[in-house]
Amino acid sequence: MIPAKTITILPGDGIGAEVTHAARQVLEAIANRFGFKLKTQTALIGHEAIVATGKPLPEETLAACKAADAVLLGAVGHPMYDLDPSAKIRPEQGLLALRQDLGLYANLRPIQLFDELLDASHIKAETVKGVDILFFRELTGDVYFGQPRERRDNGNTALDTMIYSRYEVERIAHKAFVAAQQRSGRLCSVDKANVLESSRLWRETVQQLAKQYPDVQVTHMYVDNAAMQLIKNPRQFDVVLTGNMFGDILTDLASELSGSLGMLPSASIGDQHSLYEPIHGSAPDIAGLGVANPMATILSIALMLEISWQQADIGQYIRQVVDLVLKEGYRTRDIAESHTPPHKILGTTAITERIIDKIEQPALTLI
């Protein structure tokens, strides 16, 4: 019996409200199907929070996240801030502060491609078929959090600090090594140790930790080469460990392997708290149109069940359901192909209903 769970949902900005609403409906259907109780509450973050409270992360939101068993986030960001790069308050500050305050130092981003979407990727099918990569991106250090960060010389010079401590590298590296042990036993650590002192510390620390995991084959790769290899030969990677900024860029690049950002979930975990979110942004150009792909957020629910609640079978069940809907030819606009029949291209609500219909079918059991 799964204990009752409380989830704090942060819809955020843009399409965040649409995709988190879809994921909540799916999670409620899963709870009904497998017999566990669920309590959800919503809170503000990002631009919506700034409008309502003047802060990108209100104290009430942080308290609700700390009290929950898990957090589900939609997206943060609004185009109005692009017009003023010097704005002191920005939506993204709320997300960065949330990660730091909850101690979410490890970001897990699985890159997997459903066979039905091979043609949706701009990369050749023979290159991406069978890709299964798990990224471990350090999330609370690096240049995004380093100090000092400031303007000098009357605003004509800008400074950001890329900084890592050995402890920060060790704690995420341990998680990556354990994951590699549970997979193929291969780990690639990505850095820029040829030019960056922080990367030299990163590589040195990973090399030392590797002695504790003799069953894991460790390789090291510079970030520029890793970017090229992800497109050229992605199947060479299994577990990839890297820093905050490099991980941000590489995982967005790797999303092209799957055909759409709308298909990729993520989990941000620490020692006490966890947060789950799609890796796509707020997509303000399609917000409110009802065409957003909710499947990355729904697949983030699968990660939540696996990681926070140790329900691997139910997490896999959700992926099975999504796969069945794709096998029937249904697509959202972002993953539709030129030969997809118009009646099979569905909006956010309709594709969610298809997924829920599958969950409610008694004959569809756990694989």
- The CATH number, out of the four listed (2.40.30.10, 3.40.718.10, 3.90.1150.10, 3.10.20.600), of the domain defined by the range 1-113+260-367: 3.40.718.10
Query: What's the pLDDT tens digit per position in 278-313?
Result: 998 999 999 999 999 999 999 999 999 999 999 999
pLDDT recorded at residue 196: 97
pLDDT of residue 244: 96
Question: Candidates 3.40.50.300, 3.40.50.2300, 3.40.718.10, 3.90.850.10; correct CATH number of 122-258?
Answer: 3.40.718.10
252 is catalytic: yes
pLDDT at 123: 82
Q: Phi and psi (nearest 5°) for 114?
A: -65, 135
Strand 274-278 relative to strand 70-75: parallel, antiparallel, unpaired? parallel
pLDDT beneath 70: ranges in the chain: 1, 363-367
Which pLDDT belongs to residue 163? 96
* Residues linked to residue 5 through DSSP beta bridges, in sequence order: 38
Instruction: Tell if the pTM clears 0.85, that is, is over it.
Output: yes
Question: In whole angstroms, what is the distance from residue 297 CA to residue 318 CA?
Answer: 11
Render pLDDT for 18-51 as a digit per residue (tens, 0 to 9): 999 999 999 999 999 998 899 999 999 999 999 9
Catalytic residue from among 224, 271, 313, 357: 224
Task: Examine the residue annotation and report whether 313 is marked as an active-site residue of this protein.
Answer: no
pLDDT at res. 127: 86
Tell me the torsion sign for CA atoms 76, 102, 72, 308.
positive
Q: Which of 69, 132, 160, 252 is catalytic?
A: 252
Annotated active-site residue 238? The verdict is no
Q: Give which of 128, 189, 135 is closest to 164, Cα–Cα.
A: 189
H or E, element range at 338:
none
Which residue out of 213, 248, 330, 358 is catalytically annotated?
A: 248
Residue 262: per-residue pLDDT: 86
| Closest of 20, 109, 15, 104 to residue 62, by C-alpha | 104
Residue 317 annotated as catalytic: no
Catalytic residue among 105, 142, 144, 358: 144
- Of the residues 142, 191, 192, 276, only one is catalytic, namely 192
In this chain, the answer to whether the domains covering 1-113+260-367 and 122-258 adopt an identical fold is: yes
- pLDDT at res. 115: 85
> Known catalytic residue: 215?
no
Mention every residue, 6+ apart, whose C-beta is less than 8 A from residue 362: none
Domain chopping of the chain, boundaries:
1-113+260-367, 122-258
Q: Which residues contact 298 (CB under 8 A, 6 or more apart)?
A: 22, 23, 26, 318, 322, 352, 355
